[in-house]
Amino acid sequence: MSATKRVALVTGGMGGLGEAICIKLAMLGHTVVSTYSPGNAKAQEWQAGMRVQGYDIKAYPCDVTDWNSCVACVAKVAAEVGPVDVLVNNAGITRDMTFKKMDRVNWDAVIHTNLDSCFNMTKQVADGMVDRNWGRIINISSVNGQKGAFGQTNYSAAKAGMHGFTKALSLEVARKGVTVNTISPGYIGTQMVMAIPKEVLDSKIIPQIPMGRLGKPEEVAGLVAYLSSEEAAFVTGANIAINGGQHMQ
Active site residues: 155
User: Which one-letter amino acid corresponds to residue 105?
Assistant: V
Give the contacts of 154 (CB within 8 A, at least 6 positions apart).
Answer: 95, 102, 106, 107, 109, 110, 111
CB 71 to ligand CAA: min, Å: 28
Q: Would you say 70 and 126 are in contact if contact means Cβ atoms under 8 Å apart?
A: no
CB 155 to ligand CAA: min, Å: 6
Determine, following the binding rule CB under 6 A, whether residue 246 of this chain makes contact with ligand CAA: no
* Cβ closest to ligand CAA, residue 155 vs residue 165: 155
* Cβ closest to ligand CAA, residue 31 vs residue 144: 144
Alpha helices in 28-116 (DSSP H): 43-52, 67-80, 104-111
Determine, following the binding rule CB under 6 A, whether residue 149 of this chain makes contact with ligand CAA: yes
Of 200, 210, 213, 249, which one interacts with ligand CAA (CB under 6 A)?
200
CB 196 to ligand CAA: min, Å: 5
Determine, following the binding rule CB under 6 A, whether residue 98 of this chain makes contact with ligand CAA: yes
Of 78, 93, 193, 240, which one interacts with ligand CAA (CB under 6 A)?
193
Torsion of CA 218, 219, 221, 222, to 10 degrees: 120
* Cβ closest to ligand CAA, residue 46 vs residue 155: 155
Determine, following the binding rule CB under 6 A, whether residue 249 of this chain makes contact with ligand CAA: no
Alpha helices in 39-152 (DSSP H): 43-52, 67-80, 104-111, 117-132, 143-147
Determine, following the binding rule CB under 6 A, whether residue 174 of this chain makes contact with ligand CAA: no
Q: Judging by DSSP bridges, how do beta strands 31-36 and 86-89 pair with one another?
A: unpaired
Residue 242: its H or E element? strand 239-242
Share of the chain residues as helix, strand and coil, in percent rounded to the nearest 5: 50, 15, 35
Binders of ligand CAA in range 26-65 (CB under 6 A): none
Enumerate binding residues for ligand CAA (CB under 6 A): 94, 96-98, 142-144, 149-152, 155, 186-187, 192-193, 196-197, 200, 204-205
